[in-house]
Chains A and B, each alone.
Chain A
Amino acid sequence: MTTTLISGATLPDGTTTDLVIADGVIAERGVGLSAPAGARVLDATGLVALPGLVDLHTHLREPGFEQSETVLSGTRAAAAGGFTAVFAMANTMPVSDTAGVVEQVQTLGDAAGYATVRPIGAVTVGLAGERLSEIGAMAKSRAAVRVFSDDGKCVHDSLLMRRALEYVKTFDGVVAQHAQDPRLTENAQMNEGALSSELGLKGWPAVAEESIIARDVLLAEHVGARLHICHLSTAGSVDVVRWAKARGIEVTAEVTPHHLLLTEELIRSYDARYKVNPPLRRDEDVRALREGLVDGTIDIVATDHAPHPEESKDCEWDHASFGMVGLESALSVVQAAMVDTGLFGWADVARVLSQTPAAIGRLNGHSHSFGVGSNANLAFVDPASSSTFSTDRLAGKSHNSPYLGMTLPGSVRHTFHRGYPTVLDGVVLDASEVAAAHVKAGVFRG
C-alpha cells in the first residue's frame, strides 16, 4: 500500500502538523516530517484535517431501488463528501429486517470499499409497525447491527415502541425513531402554517413530530433504554429534547444539514427538490435547531441522504417523492450554517459529524485522536474555497439536491478510508482502484 505524507494540515484544534499514513494507520505525526521512499506527498497547507465523517442516517437504496442508488454509488457519494462510514437505513426492498439482508448490505459495502458500511435493522417486520423484526439475529449476525430504525415510518404504536426500546437494550443497541404521528400527517405535503395554507399544500404540523418525541423520551425513561431521535426539525422538538436531557433521560438527537439552512419559503416555487420528510420549516425553527446543536441538545448532524430518480421530482408537488441527496453537500452546508456564522469551530464539526455519531452507532475503529497508530480515516477540507454547487459535485446516482445553483463554502479535497485514498484533489477515485485498496487493507469489522 502506498505511503502518504500529508504536510501542513490544520487539525480541528487549530494546530498544524504533518501526517504520515502507512498500513492503514497514522504512522507518524509532527512538524517537518520527511517523505518516506516512494511516498505520495500532499501539500495540505490551508486545509483542515477532520476525522473521517460518519453518517448515522443514509439511504443507500440497495437492495430494491437500484435506479436511485446502490451501495457502491452511495458510498462514492459518501467519499466525495468526506465520509468514511455510513449507516444504511432499513427501508430497502426487501426491507432490512433479517440477518440475511443486513449481511448482504454489509457485503456490498465491503466489496465497494469507499466507506465502512454499517447496516441499520428495521424495528418491525416490513416496517409495518406491527411486530418486532428479528433484532437479535441481526445484532448477532456478521453485520453486528446496533442501530434499529423504521425510518420513513414512525413506530407509532406505544406498546410496540416500549417493547422495542426494552428489547434493543438487550443487545446494546439503540432505536432511532422517525417521529411522525401518522394520523396528524395523512397526505401532508409541507410544514403547516400560513404558507401551506396560502399555497394550498396539506399541512404537516410541528406537533406531529413533537408529540411522538415527548412520548418516546418518557417511554425511554420508564424502561431505562437509549433512544435516538432522527432528524429533529422544529423548535418545539428542541425544547422537548432539552427538557428530557435535563431530566437525565438517555436520548440523543440528530439534525440534517438542510434543516440547518433551508426554510419553507423555497416551496413557493413548487419545485419538488424541496420536498422532504420531515418538511422544511420556518426561519425560527432553523435558528432553534442551530442553537440546539450549539448547546448540545442536538448531538449530531446526519444527512438523511435520500436519492430519487429524476422522474420522482420532475412533476407536480403532490406526486413527487420525499427526500434530498445530502452526502456530497453536508460538510459545505454545515460550514455555511454553523462555522461561517461563528457558532462552531472545526472541533465542533468533528464532534457532530464524526465522533458522536460513531459513539451512538457503536462504530469501532473510527478514531478521532489523530494519534500515532490510530486508524487513518480522514477528510481534508479546504474551508476557504467557495463555489456554485453543481451536479459536478454529486458522485451518487441521483441529482435531487436542493443546493444546485447555490453558492456554498468549502470543498473536500482528500478522503482516506482505512489509510487508502478514496478522493484525491477533489476527484473520487475509480471503483476498481478503491476496491483493490480495500482488499489489501484486509477484512475489518467496524
Chain B
Amino acid sequence: MRHLLSTRDLLREDAIGLLDIAEDMSEVQNREVKKLPTLRGKTVVNLFFEDSTRTRTSFEVAAKRLSADVINFSAKGSSVSKGESLKDTAQTLAAMGADGVVIRHSASGAPQVLAQSGWIDAGVVNAGDGTHEHPTQALLDAFTMRRRIHGDAARGRDLDGVSVMIVGDVLHSRVARSNLWLLETLGAHVTFVAPATLVPVGASTWPVDIRYDLDVALAEVRPDVVMMLRIQQERMNAAFFPTTREYARQWGLDDERLLALRPDSIVMHPGPMNRGLEISSRAADSAQSTVIEQVANGVSIRMAVLYSLLSGDREARS
C-alpha cells in the first residue's frame, strides 16, 4: 500500500491484512517493552489542519512505538489554512525528508489532493477529511467488532453476517461513511438510523438500510452492534432538528433502549461523547460498551497502517 486515503477503495484482503497486523501490534502493546524498531530512521509528520487531540495523540503513540521520529505540525489557527499553503506546507515537509504524512483536514479530498499532487513523495494517511472519510477509525471499529465477536480466533476473519446499526448525524459523519464502505467489504450488514434531515441525499443508492425510528429499528433488526455518532454543537443551530431534548428522546441511546438491546450486543462510539445527548452515561459505561477498547485498538490499527505504508523501501513498491 502506498497511501491510505479511504476505505471505499480498500480491497477485502488488504483490509483483513491490516486487521491481522493490528492483532500482532496489539500483542506488542501487552508487553513490558512496547516498542518495535521497525520504523527507526523514518520520519512521520502529523499534519493537522483541524484540532483533534485524540486522533493526533493516537497516531503519535503508534509512530513512536514503531520507533519513528514524529513531528507534530499543527496548521490550525495560523495563516496556514488556505490552498496555496497546503502546497507550500507539503513542499516544506518534503524538503525536510518526511516519509509519512498523517493529515487531518476540514476540506474533503485534501489527503487525495496531497497524495496525487507530486508536491511530496511521502506516504499519505487520511486522518479524517471534511465529511468524506476517516479510514483508520473504521478499521479500528472493525477490529473492535471482530475481537468482540471472534475473540482469539479473530485472525483472518471478516464480519460476514454481522449486523451494525449506525445512529445519528450520518450527514456530517466521515466515520459513518468509512464504516459503511469497510463493513460492506467485510460482509456486514449496515443500517443507518437518523432523522431525515441528517441522512445524506442519495444515500438510498448506498448498500445500507435507512430507518428513521430508532425503537422500531432496534426491535426489528436486533443488531449485533449499535454505533452512536456524536452530535456536533454547531448542528443544533442549523435547523437539522428542533432541540437537543427532542433529539435525545428520539435518537439517543438512553437507559431504556440499552436494556432493550440483546445482552450480547455491543455499544460503540467514536468519541468524544456527549453524555446525556446521543448516549447515556449508563450505556457508555456498561459492559456492552467498547468505547475504551476502541481507543486502545486505535493505536494498534495506526501502528499497522504506518507499518504497512512505511516499512521497507517505499520507492521500490510505489
Interface residues of A (CB under 8 A from B): 192-203, 205, 269-270, 311-312, 314-320
**Complex CA distance for A197 and B113, rounded to whole angstroms:** 18
B200-249 CB contacts (< 8 Å) to partner A: 200-203, 205-206
| Contact assessment for A316 and B110 in the assembled complex, using a CB-CB cutoff below 8 Å | yes
The contact of B200 among A197, A312, A317, by CB within 8 Å, is A197
Q: Mark B100-119 against chain A: 1 for CB-CB distance below 8 A, else 0.
A: 00000111111011001000
| Contact assessment for B201 and A270 in the assembled complex, using a CB-CB cutoff below 8 Å | no
Q: Mark B129-151 against chain A: 1 for CB-CB distance below 8 A, else 0.
A: 11111000000000000000000
Contacts of B112 in A (CB 8 A): 269-270
Q: Does B94 contact A (CB under 8 A)?
A: no
**Complex CA distance for A202 and B172, rounded to whole angstroms:** 10
| Contact assessment for B201 and A192 in the assembled complex, using a CB-CB cutoff below 8 Å | yes
The contact of B202 among A194, A317, A319, by CB within 8 Å, is A194
**Complex CA distance for A205 and B129, rounded to whole angstroms:** 22
Q: Could you tell me the distance in whole angstroms from the C-beta of A398 to the nearest C-beta in chain B? A: 16
A316 with B109: in contact, given A194-B202, A194-B206, A200-B177 (CB under 8 Å)?
Answer: yes
Stretch at the interface among B20-28, B81-89, B156-164, B289-297: B81-89
**Complex CA distance for A194 and B171, rounded to whole angstroms:** 11
| Contact assessment for A314 and B109 in the assembled complex, using a CB-CB cutoff below 8 Å | no
The contact of B108 among A311, A312, A314, A317, by CB within 8 Å, is A317
| Contact assessment for A316 and B201 in the assembled complex, using a CB-CB cutoff below 8 Å | no
Q: Does B8 contact A (CB under 8 A)?
A: yes
B256-280 CB contacts (< 8 Å) to partner A: none
| Contact assessment for A314 and B83 in the assembled complex, using a CB-CB cutoff below 8 Å | yes
| Contact assessment for B83 and A200 in the assembled complex, using a CB-CB cutoff below 8 Å | no
**Can you name 27 A-B residue pairings with CB atoms under 8 Å?**
A192-B201, A194-B200, A194-B201, A194-B205, A194-B206, A195-B202, A197-B171, A197-B200, A197-B201, A197-B202, A200-B131, A200-B132, A203-B201, A205-B201, A270-B109, A311-B83, A312-B83, A314-B84, A314-B87, A315-B82, A315-B83, A315-B84, A315-B86, A316-B105, A317-B109, A317-B113, A318-B130
**Complex CA distance for A320 and B84, rounded to whole angstroms:** 10
Q: Does B174 contact A (CB under 8 A)?
A: yes
User: Closest 9 interchain pairs by CB?
Assistant: A315-B83, A194-B202, A200-B132, A270-B109, A197-B200, A200-B108, A200-B131, A319-B83, A316-B107
The contact of A200 among B87, B133, B203, B206, by CB within 8 Å, is B133
Q: Could you tell me the distance in whole angstroms from the C-beta of B194 to the nearest C-beta in chain A? A: 13
When C-beta atoms are compared, the residue in chain B nearest to A267 turns out to be B109
**Complex CA distance for A320 and B109, rounded to whole angstroms:** 12
**Complex CA distance for A196 and B203, rounded to whole angstroms:** 10
Contacts of A195 in B (CB 8 A): 202
B159-207 CB contacts (< 8 Å) to partner A: 171, 174, 177, 200-203, 205-206
Contacts of A197 in B (CB 8 A): 171, 200-203
Given contacts A314-B87, A315-B82, 12 further A-B contacts (CB under 8 A): A192-B201, A196-B202, A197-B203, A198-B177, A198-B202, A199-B132, A200-B109, A270-B108, A312-B83, A316-B86, A316-B113, A317-B110
**Complex CA distance for A74 and B206, rounded to whole angstroms:** 44
| Contact assessment for B201 and A319 in the assembled complex, using a CB-CB cutoff below 8 Å | no
Contacts of A196 in B (CB 8 A): 201-202
A270 with B113: in contact, given A197-B203, A200-B177 (CB under 8 Å)?
Answer: yes
| Contact assessment for A193 and B108 in the assembled complex, using a CB-CB cutoff below 8 Å | no
Contacts of A319 in B (CB 8 A): 82-83, 107
| Contact assessment for B86 and A193 in the assembled complex, using a CB-CB cutoff below 8 Å | no
| Contact assessment for B83 and A320 in the assembled complex, using a CB-CB cutoff below 8 Å | yes
When C-beta atoms are compared, the residue in chain A nearest to B105 turns out to be A316
| Contact assessment for B200 and A318 in the assembled complex, using a CB-CB cutoff below 8 Å | no
Looking at B87, B113, B129, B131, the one whose CB has the most chain A CB atoms below 10 A away is: B113
Q: Could you tell me the distance in whole angstroms from the C-beta of B316 to the nearest C-beta in chain A? A: 26
Q: Could you tell me the distance in whole angstroms from the C-beta of A354 to the nearest C-beta in chain B? A: 38
| Contact assessment for B107 and A317 in the assembled complex, using a CB-CB cutoff below 8 Å | yes
**Complex CA distance for A193 and B177, rounded to whole angstroms:** 15
**Complex CA distance for A317 and B174, rounded to whole angstroms:** 17
When C-beta atoms are compared, the residue in chain B nearest to A314 turns out to be B87
A318 with B107: in contact, given A198-B177, A200-B129, A311-B84 (CB under 8 Å)?
Answer: yes
Contacts of B202 in A (CB 8 A): 192-198
Contacts of B133 in A (CB 8 A): 200
Contacts of A311 in B (CB 8 A): 83-84
Contacts of A192 in B (CB 8 A): 201-202
**Complex CA distance for A115 and B12, rounded to whole angstroms:** 58
**Complex CA distance for A442 and B116, rounded to whole angstroms:** 52
Contacts of B131 in A (CB 8 A): 200, 202
